Amino acid sequence: MAGDSLQKATFAGGCFWCMVSPFDEQPGIHQVISGYTGGHTENPTYEEVCSNTTGHLEAVQITFNPEIFSYDRLLELFWAQIDPTDPGGQFHDRGESYQTAIFCHNQEQKEKAEASKKALEESGRFSKPIVTEIREASVFYPAEQYHQDYYRKNPLHYKAYRKGSGREDFINKNWSDVNG
């Protein structure tokens, strides 16, 4: 059964609205959920996470079939959505909740994440250090329903936000070879 081979990957890349669409319609991706992880508060709300008092990061949790879309490809796509050199958040979203991280669900994911980070550091693509953390996966809390699939529910606002935040221009400048 295909469901037996499904795995989870969890990535924090700043605003979770912008982290769903790149993964959502790829072959082998079964689900992408926006949520919160890495903190100490149970069942945090969006407002609590944005207050930077819960320790949580906005993140996406991806359910995928590694036989169709490998974890290595997920990592490559993740890196190409972020500024991995920014310790203070992503683009105009500032604060702990918008920092970047890879949350590993097992040892194999940890090894692959570390190898991909090292390869990016050694690539010379960025002159500043790569600050994205690699952490052990912890409890993932789905975000409120209005945050789920935001890019589909509110396409005009989503596009304006992605452009206005500086994310789109950064990606086009730094990752066009990966994102096509």
Which residues have a catalytic role annotated? 15
Q: Rounded to whole angstroms, how far apart are CA atoms 59 and 37? A: 7
User: Whole-angstrom Cα distance, residue 26 to residue 74?
Assistant: 10
Point out which residues pair with 10 in neighbouring strands: 61, 103
Give the C-alpha separation, 18 to 11, whole Å. Answer: 12
Rounded to whole angstroms, the Cα distance separating 15 from 44 reads 16
HSE of 136 in the Cβ direction (CA atoms, 13 Å)? 3
102 vs 112: CA distance, rounded Å: 11
- CA distance linking residue 115 with residue 54, whole number of Å: 29
